[in-house]
Amino acid sequence: MKYRNNFLREVEANVEEGEWVKRCMQCGVCAGSCPLGPHWEHPPQEIFMMIRAGKREEVLGSDSMWMCTSCYNCIARCPRELPITHIMHGLAHYATRLGLVSENQQTNKFAQRFWNNLTKKGRVNELKLGLSLYFMNGIPEGIKTSLKMQKVGLGMWKTKRMDPMEILGGHGCKDTSGLQAMLKKASEIEAAKKVKV
Ligand code: SF4
Ligand code: SF4
């Protein structure tokens, strides 16, 4: 395992709210408060300890920050008032910017599909999003999930929560080209931000 002593500085410079990591006193309250932490490879307290220890590959390649559900339990209880939730999401975003996220990372796959669906027309096409999620791990799994969920789908159709005609395109916002221009500008601004290592 490689150690990089300047990893804390790299996190401070590139990760949202990363400058807070050095204030963690390793009390463990966040790890004990996180409803999902025990099921993760590394709960937040451990992630912060690893950043300070320079474990760059282990932190940025970890699945843990992708599992944060933004419940804010940790933020409410941290005695040092660290914005833990934002740091966890910031680490996931930074790993994405560096291209270090595995293609099979499920939360990332979901996020990509949601983003692509939403940004096409400025409104989520529920039917297409649902289908793309069912099939994101291959056709056999997609068919299995679709069959399992058919009652839910029919219920949504009957109660007008989902329109099967959305498969033809669905609704969108009024100014789609304005939306696209805004997104293009935002991605140009993001691309101009240099990673400081
Ligand atoms: S609760 Fe706050 S100070 Fe304690 S380990 Fe977690 S982040 Fe660090
Ligand atoms: S916000 Fe994220 S890290 Fe914090 S307690 Fe909730 S799931 Fe855990």
> Last residue of some domain: 97, 116, 135?
97
pLDDT above 80 (res 133): yes
In the chain, how many domains are there? 2
Q: For residue range 37-49, what is the model confidence (pLDDT) as tens digits?
A: 888 899 999 999 9
Is 34's C-beta closer than 6 angstroms to any atom of ligand 2? yes
Which of 39, 88, 89, 107 best tests ligand 2's pocket when mutated (most atoms within 8 Å of CB)?
Answer: 88
Asked if the structure places residue 1 within a domain, the reply is no
pLDDT band at 3 (very low <50, low <70, confident <90, very high): low
* CATH number, domain with residue 75: 1.10.1060.10
Q: Give the pLDDT score at 127.
A: 87
**Does 89 share its domain with 113?**
no
Q: Give the distance between the most distant pair of CA atoms in the chain.
A: 59
| Dist CA 5 CA 115 (whole Å) | 35
**Does 131 share its domain with 80?**
no
**Does 87 share its domain with 142?**
no
pLDDT above 80 (res 193): no
pTM above 0.85, yes or no: no
**Does 114 share its domain with 75?**
no
Q: Which ligand 2 atom is the nearest neighbour of the CA of 43?
A: 3
**Does 152 share its domain with 84?**
no
In the chain, helix, strand, coil percent, each to 5?
65, 0, 35
| Dist CA 55 CA 186 (whole Å) | 31
Q: Give the pLDDT score at 2.
A: 53
**Does 93 share its domain with 43?**
yes
Q: Which ligand 1 atom is the nearest neighbour of the CA of 84?
A: 7
CB atoms within 10 A of CB 115: 11
Q: Give the pLDDT score at 168.
A: 80
**Domain of 148?**
106-192
Q: Give the pLDDT score at 86.
A: 97
Asked if the structure places residue 152 within a domain, the reply is yes
pLDDT band at 29 (very low <50, low <70, confident <90, very high): very high
Q: With contact defined as beta carbons under 8 Å apart, do 127 and 163 qualify? A: yes
CB atoms within 10 A of CB 27: 13
**Does 93 share its domain with 171?**
no
| Dist CA 19 CA 30 (whole Å) | 18
